[in-house]
């Protein structure tokens, strides 16, 4: 009886530890994402290409007006990054914060030092399917 009880407790312990490790692991956000953000002028669609090195995040924001470098961090399921655009002849830095849930990211973007946040979101881009002959 004691042996059965010990094996049951040991098995349950392994299950709990395994679940904790699985939840601690995060899916890499490296790759291409289809993104959209709310702006005072309406919704803007763009692409994000992330490269991850440890907690360091870099990459490119691909916008209709051109590609811009991004820098930031990713810690667990939290992401922060920024890039700078030229708006009416002035540099304007956009600051993004968000939470990663599988193949989706959502959060807020702040435009410069305005302190005002608007929503942004992204979904992992679908891989191009090979074309048949």
Domains assigned to the chain: 31-124 (2.40.128.120)
Residue 39 pLDDT exceeds 90: no
Task: For residue 25, name the pLDDT band (cuts at 50, 70, 90).
Answer: very low
Looking at the chain, list the stretches that DSSP marks H as alpha helix, in order from N- to C-terminal side. 2-24
106 vs 111: CA distance, rounded Å: 16
CB-CB neighbours of 99 under 10 Å: 12
Which range among 15-29, 53-67, 74-88 shows the weakest confidence by mean pLDDT?
Answer: 15-29
Q: Cα dist. 30→59, 100, 105 in Å?
A: 9, 12, 13
91 vs 77: CA distance, rounded Å: 29
CA-based radius of gyration for the chain:
21
Q: Taking residues 37-55, report their average pLDDT.
A: 93
Each as own residue / partner, the long-range contacts of residues 51-55 (CB below 8 Å, 24 or more positions apart, any chain) are 52/28
């Amino acid at each position: 009886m004691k042996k059965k009880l010990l094996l049951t407790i040991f098995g349950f312990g392994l299950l709990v530890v395994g679940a904790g490790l699985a939840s601690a692991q995060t899916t890499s956000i490296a790759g291409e994402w289809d993104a959209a953000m709310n702006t005072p002028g309406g919704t803007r669609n763009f692409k994000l290409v992330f490269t991850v090195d440890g907690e360091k995040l870099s990459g490119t924001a691909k916008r209709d007006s051109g590609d811009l470098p991004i820098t930031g961090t990713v810690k667990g399921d939290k992401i922060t990054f920024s890039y700078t655009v030229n708006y009416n002849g002035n540099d304007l830095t956009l600051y993004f914060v968000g939470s990663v849930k599988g193949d989706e990211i959502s959060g807020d973007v702040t435009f410069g030092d305005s302190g005002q946040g608007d929503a942004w979101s992204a979904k992992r881009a679908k891989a191009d399917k090979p074309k048949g002959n």
